[in-house]
Amino acid sequence: MTTADLLAHFFGASATGITISNKIATGYAKVGDQDVCVIGTVDGTYIDNAAALQMSEQVLDCVRSKPGVPIVMLVDSEGQEPNRTAEMLGLPVYFGHLLTCLQVAREAGHKLITVATGKAIGGAFICYGMFADSIYALDSATVGLMPVEAMSAVTKIPVAILEELSKTLPALEFGAAPFALLGGVKAVWPTDETLADKLSAAIAAATPEDTRAALGKERGGRPQAYDVQQRVLAESAR
Amino acid sequence: MSLTPYHELKARERIAVIADAGSFREILPPPERVMSTYLPKLGIPVSFDDGLAIGHATIGGKPVYLAAQVGQFVGGSVGEVHSAKLVGLLKSAARDKIPCVFLIESGGVRLHEGSSGEIGIAEAIRAVFSCRAAGATTLAVIGSDIGAYGGMGILSSCCDFRLMTEHGRLGISGPIVIEKWMGKQAFDSANRALVWKTSGGKTRYVLGDADLLVNDSADSVRAGIISFLSKSAKPDLAMVEARQASLEARLEKFGQISDPDEIWKTCGITDIAAASLAEAEDFAKSFHPQNS
């Protein structure tokens, strides 16, 4: 599906309000009758210092000029391209700035909704999409830390072993459905004509509480996280 | 008093020299056996604390929550339990409105636990901002050989403040990954001077990413930590607007150069050789950071 098709699914004719420059989408559109601000990556692009600034500028514009308008984040990015100049200029700081802008928006009353539309991998997902109040993924999206081949190359554990284990450990599997079992996305959406309605309902339902650990426990994909968090909270209160 | 090089210490040794004597109370200590269920399935030894010591303590008489990563255990990497301990500690700090200090030594997400640690880091980042919203200071202390990379580099960049030593490095992709990607011509990961000038404490301080640069001794790091415990940097629109402008200016000014010495020169350092050898605190005194 082309980016234009995808945007039309979510935003209909109002998708014309979204500009794509250097594979970064920014602008304003409508989901049903609801005005929204849109930031995102398209075509599996790499995200770098400049991309982070493009998106943060849009978030700041929204906070300044569109009080309370929900911010929709679309994610289709391969990750960050390993690059020495990007690192020298402080890539994590650029990502941290984007997250801080999103926090300022949240505190100003903007709801934050993410849809992983394509690749949602590693740092590219952490640096904005995973910061939302509610996170969703298309069923065709490839969501996760990295494919088992890449995991194998670094950990030296054979692909066959990782693939076998991933049958019972969704954390090692790559995709939208296993990521949902971990609580990392709330729901997986089929790419069809109901997307705009689903997004509209998701915006209405969003609250800022982070429920991912509880979801991961309930769905069985991340059995330890919630209990360990709660134990620390209980022990520290004594 | 301890002049022991901070970067040579292990996690609990760091806690011992940073916290007031005898004040540290560990939460979920090793005897509790709260550890990874993934690693045994991969045939990898576990650690009874999953590579992270957390607890409360006082530093200079002030109560803090304190976390120290164990770099010797799978590179200080962040798996499901490790991240859940971090999140629990941060939520405790936000609840109790007391500072949270991270002694960081981590390459980022633990690959062996896949997306579980990735989500855990994302939760920890949300919790960092809960602390900031509550006025509970979050301080990343980056002074170990491994540094703060990957998701931990991003998390560190979300804290109110970053304290670094010359040994500390702050980044996302490490030198070996970059060398593999770009080739040895572009980045020789064995060139230690270049590696440290790319991501190390001095360059990060020159560009304003580290708020304080201190000498590589336990006493200097402790004194530095104390200087932040009564401060916080609650994010607001004016703050992020100023930051947006300075990060744009940085990209404009330095986006096309590849030699970190050029950055140092542009920032007013005239004698590169002397500055490279200078002790961190002398280096820091010798010029005013751009705060860019």
Query: Which residues in chain A are contacts of B56 at CB distance < 8 A?
Result: 236
3-state SS class at B189: coil
At B229-264, the pLDDT tens digits run: 999 999 999 999 999 999 999 999 999 888 999 999
What ipTM does this complex have?
A: 0.97
CA A216 from centre of chain = 17
At B134-144, the pLDDT tens digits run: 999 999 999 99
Task: Give A37→chain B minimum CA distance, Å.
Answer: 17
Distance CA(A129)–CA(B247), nearest Å, equals 21
Would you call B181 an interface residue with chain A, using a CB distance cutoff of 8 Å? yes
User: Is the Cβ pair B113, A226 closer than 8 Å?
Assistant: no
Distance CA(A112)–CA(A53), nearest Å, equals 18
Please give the pLDDT value at position B291.
44
The sign of the dihedral angle between the CA atoms of B185, B190, B192, B196 is positive
Gyration radius from chain A CA atoms: 18
The pLDDT of B6-16, averaged and rounded, is 97
Identify the band that residue B186 occupies on the pLDDT scale cut at 50, 70 and 90: confident
Give every CB contact of residue B277 below 8 A, 6+ residues apart in sequence: none
Task: Give A5→chain B minimum CA distance, Å.
Answer: 29
At A104-130, the pLDDT tens digits run: 999 999 999 999 999 999 899 999 999
When scoring B197, B240, B241, B292 by the number of chain A Cβ atoms within 10 A, the one with the most, hence best to mutate, is: B240
Residue type, B222: R
Distance CA(B193)–CA(B181), nearest Å, equals 20
Check: CB of residue B3 under 8 Å from CB of residue B217: yes
User: Is the Cβ pair A92, B241 closer than 8 Å?
Assistant: no
pTM for this prediction: 0.97
Backbone φ, ψ for residue A31 (5° rounding): -110, 105
Strands A187-189 and A134-138: parallel
Strands B52-59 and A187-189: unpaired
Distance between terminal CA atoms of chain A? 54
Query: Which residues in chain A are contacts of B202 at CB distance < 8 A?
Result: none
**Token pair listed for B47:** 């650690």
Task: Give B4→chain A minimum CA distance, Å.
Answer: 29
Residue whose tokens read 């928006």: A105
User: Mean pLDDT in runs of 10 for chain A (238 residues)?
Assistant: 93 97 98 97 96 98 98 96 93 98 98 97 95 97 89 88 92 95 98 95 98 98 98 95
The residue in chain A having the minimum alpha-carbon distance to the alpha carbon of residue B91 is A233
Distance CA(B70)–CA(B105), nearest Å, equals 7
**How far is CA A183 from each of CA A176, A219, B177, B292, rounded to the nearest angstrom?**
11, 7, 29, 37
3-state SS class at B43: coil
Residues 91-130 of B with CB under 8 A from A: 91-92, 95-96, 109, 111-123, 125-127, 129
User: Is the Cβ pair A53, B248 closer than 8 Å?
Assistant: yes
When scoring B95, B102, B118, B159 by the number of chain A Cβ atoms within 10 A, the one with the most, hence best to mutate, is: B118
Distance CA(B168)–CA(B163), nearest Å, equals 9
Task: Give B111→chain A minimum CA distance, Å.
Answer: 6
Picking from B28, B153, B198, the nearest residue to A231 by CB comes out as: B28
3-state SS class at B200: strand
Would you call A192 an interface residue with chain B, using a CB distance cutoff of 8 Å? no
Distance CA(B101)–CA(A123), nearest Å, equals 23
Query: Which residues in chain A are contacts of B113 at CB distance < 8 A?
Result: 171-172
Among residues B100, B255, B162, B277, which one has the least CA distance to residue A48? B255
Distance CA(B124)–CA(B83), nearest Å, equals 7
Would you call B203 an interface residue with chain A, using a CB distance cutoff of 8 Å? yes
Distance CA(B166)–CA(B7), nearest Å, equals 10
Please give the pLDDT value at position A58.
98
**Token pair listed for A30:** 């409508």
When scoring B102, B110, B115, B125 by the number of chain A Cβ atoms within 10 A, the one with the most, hence best to mutate, is: B115
Gyration radius from chain B CA atoms: 19
Backbone φ, ψ for residue B126 (5° rounding): -60, -40
Picking from A171, A227, A230, the nearest residue to B113 by CB comes out as: A171
What DSSP string runs through A33-92? TEEEEEEEE-TEEE--HHHHHHHHHHHHHHHHHSTT--EEEEEEEEEPPP-HHHHHTTHH
Query: Which residues in chain B are contacts of A178 at CB distance < 8 A?
Result: 115
At B198-231, the pLDDT tens digits run: 999 999 999 999 999 999 999 999 999 999 999 9
Among residues B160, B284, B164, which one has the least CA distance to residue B230? B160
